[in-house]
Amino acid sequence: MKKIAVPLFATLAAIGIAVSVYQVFYVAPLEYSYNEAGKFNGSSLFFNQKIFYFHVGHAFWLFGAVFVSGISSIGFLITRDPRWDDVASASTDVAVAFGAVVLVTGSIWGKAAWDVWWQWEPRLTMSLLLWLVLVGYVLVRKFAGPSADRIAAGMAIFGMVGVPFIYKMVGQSSHPAAGSQGVVATLPPGERGPFWIAVASFLCWYLALVISRVQSTRAEREVRELRERGLDLGVLQ
């Protein structure tokens, strides 16, 4: 099982993304609106709306990754087994990359929809804040020295607990711009298929990346342990 996991998910992701691209550009309807007089309304999104699929696809798993990190960090603090920590740190690394995608695609979409490169609308704000917590985690792991795993685990747990508060906070303080809660439910029918395919593909992509990182960390650890045993036995220098 372990050996095929990465190639399996990577292949699924590749297929999924290829299919998504096709679906997004050829199957999903183009979004545009007409004003009252029945004339075409020029200020609509057209192709820029397509970025929505990649944006939200990554955003789903940005959030998922935060919870995966938080829960495996709890496992790590309880058991101190480094395997939990491997998962937490791999998930966070991937989440940082996904988060960057979410923020950049969100910004592009924002430019198209509201003509500004940044807008403090609820979900972008939330993504940014989560992303900052995740970047903090990565920095802590890098610079906190020998106990970095424990400290970062603490941060991941606190970050996870903070998610509902960030959610409530952005709901209240920003004006409900384009992108309120019901977006997925209110998707026009033609768009739902491509949307879920995109989400599923990015899940496979996330899993492929995380599992591959975890495997590589474990391999490194095994090599280190072997080397230690060799040194202990006097076989190595």
Partner 1 sequence: MELLRHAARVAWKDLRIELRSREIVYTMVFFGALLVVIYSFAFPNDARAIRGSVPGMLWVSLAFTGTIGLGRAFDRERENDTMRALLLAPVPRLAVFLGKAFATTVLVLTVAVVCTPLLALFLQAPLFAYPVPLILVVILGAVGIAVIGSVFAATLLKVRSRDVLLPVILYPLLVPLFVAGTSCTAALVAEIPNFDAAWYWIQFLGIYDAAFLVLSIWVFESLVIE
Partner 2 sequence: MTALDEVQIRGVAKRYGHERALAGVTLELTAGSMCALLGHNGAGKTTLLGIVSTLVRPNTGTVAYRAKGKAVTGADVRREIGMLAHASLCYGELSARENLALIAGLYDVDGSPPAIEGALDRVGLDKKARDRAARTYSRGMLQRLALARALLTRPSLLLLDEPFTGLDRGGALALGAELGTLRDAGAIVVVVTHDLEAIAGRTDHVAILRRGQLVFEERGSYSYEQLKDVYHRHAN
Binding of partner 1 by 172 (CB under 8 A): yes
Within 124-163, which residues bind partner 2 (CB under 8 A)?
145-149
CB of 2 to partner 2, least distance (A): 23
| Cβ proximity to partner 2, 12 vs 148, nearer residue | 148
| Cβ proximity to partner 1, 173 vs 181, nearer residue | 173
The stretch among 51-59, 110-118, 149-157, 176-184 that binds partner 1 (CB under 8 A) is 149-157
The stretch among 83-91, 102-110, 144-152, 214-222 that binds partner 1 (CB under 8 A) is 144-152
CB of 134 to partner 2, least distance (A): 20
The stretch among 24-32, 53-61, 145-153, 194-202 that binds partner 1 (CB under 8 A) is 145-153
Please write down the HEC assignment for all residues of the chain: CHHHHHHHHHHHHHHHHHHHHHHHHHHCCCCCCECCCCCECCCCCHHHHHHHHHHHHHHHHHHHHHHHHHHHHHHHHHHCCHHHHHHHHHHHHHHHHHHHHHHHHHHHHHHHHHCCCCCCCHHHHHHHHHHHHHHHHHHHHHHCHHHHHHHHHHHHHHHHHHHHHHHHHHHHHCCCCCCCHHHCCCCCHHHHHHHHHHHHHHHHHHHHHHHHHHHHHHHHHHHHHHHHHHHHHCCCC
CB of 49 to partner 1, least distance (A): 30
Distance of CA 59 to the CA centre of its chain: 5
Residue 77 binding partner per list partner 1, partner 2, none, with a CB distance cut-off of 5 to 8 Å that depends on partner kind: partner 1
By the criterion CB under 8 A, which residues form the site for partner 1?
A: 77-78, 129, 132-133, 136, 139-140, 143-145, 147, 150-151, 153-155, 157-159, 161-162, 165-166, 168-169, 172-173
By the criterion CB under 8 A, which residues form the site for partner 2?
A: 80-82, 145-149, 224, 228, 231-232
